[in-house]
Amino acid sequence: MSPTRRTMLKTAGLLSVAALAGCTSNAETPGGDDSNGQNGSNDAGDDGNGSDLPDSNDSGSSGGNDSGSSDGTRPAGTGGPGVVVSDTDDAPEVPVAPSVELTEDVATDDHPPQLRVTITNESDRAVRLGEGRDVFFQYVSDTENDLILLPAGGEYDAEPGCWRLAEPIAITSEYRTITLEPGASKEELVDLYATPGEDACLPVGEFRFEATYTVLSESMESEERATWGFSLSLE
């Protein structure tokens, strides 16, 4: 065999071995080229889009909720827990019927939760009722002194969105009365604040409010008294 032919055969043999080695490598690691190339690019693209990363999406969504929530209790986009009138007493045994309803059931940066208190004279005679602020739950705290209801529209030292008073509210000791004609009603709006002394904002839980209704005679020499109240649930 001539030297030239031996050289050609040797070169062909080397080329065959190299080709076989390449086939063997792909067989042992199927998709090996894809994992370092096309598949790797797809994975990176999916990760970037979040389609294959539910945990990342969940985390982002949760983060959005956490920014507007307190321990998962605040409705999205609000600054405080949702408020529900969870219980009201039966009408008191005096000739007036009080009622309460929510006008703002969540706190925002613009306003605290708000309630409307209405009193209706259900008798056939005019009645004089006292104390004129208590019966509308103005300046009335819950039984645990965690929350207080204040006349709506007042300027109180409280951080917007948090609505916890920085200082106690001074209340005058005067005794006010209101007069209701037969069948007449009167209503007042009150805002809900947290009392001073805690770091938190509006707390969650169940809170009971009570007021004494005193119906005075025209001469104010006799009176009828009864207690009426309701509960608020903040959650």
**Stronger pLDDT, 22 or 234, i.e. the higher one:** 234
Phi-psi region of 218 (alpha: psi -120 to 50; beta: other; left: phi over 0): alpha
- Coil/strand/helix, residue 148: strand
Query: Residues 99, 155: one domain?
Result: yes
Query: Residues 196, 110: one domain?
Result: yes
Q: Which domain holds residue 151?
A: 83-234
Query: Residues 164, 87: one domain?
Result: yes
Query: Residues 90, 152: one domain?
Result: yes
pLDDT computed for residue 67 by the predictor: 37
Residue 139 in any domain: the answer is yes
Residue 192 in any domain: the answer is yes
The CA distance from 56 to 224, in Å, is 64
Q: What is the pLDDT of residues 108-134, one digit of tens each?
A: 999 999 999 999 999 998 999 999 999
The CA distance from 156 to 194, in Å, is 12
The CA distance from 6 to 10, in Å, is 6
Query: Residues 127, 194: one domain?
Result: yes
Residue 73 in any domain: the answer is no
The answer, yes or no, to whether residue 66 has pLDDT greater than 50, is: no
Residue 218 in any domain: the answer is yes
pLDDT computed for residue 29 by the predictor: 40
Name the most confidently modeled range: 3-12, 34-43, 59-68, 217-226: 217-226
| Counted domains in the chain | 2
- Cα dihedral 172/173/174/178 (nearest 10): 90
Query: Residues 111, 204: one domain?
Result: yes
Query: Residues 147, 197: one domain?
Result: yes
Residue 74 in any domain: the answer is no
**Stronger pLDDT, 222 or 162, i.e. the higher one:** 162
What's the pTM?
A: 0.67
Q: What is the pLDDT of residues 158-172, one digit of tens each?
A: 989 999 999 999 998
pLDDT computed for residue 216 by the predictor: 87
Residue 72 in any domain: the answer is no
Domain of 213: which CATH number? Answer: 2.60.40
Query: Residues 92, 180: one domain?
Result: yes
pLDDT computed for residue 223 by the predictor: 84
Query: Residues 38, 105: one domain?
Result: no
pLDDT computed for residue 221 by the predictor: 64
Residue 76 in any domain: the answer is no
Query: Residues 56, 109: one domain?
Result: no
- Give residue 81's pLDDT band: very low, low, confident or very high (50, 70, 90): confident
pLDDT computed for residue 200 by the predictor: 76
Domain limit, last residue, from 32, 67, 102:
67
Residue 144 in any domain: the answer is yes
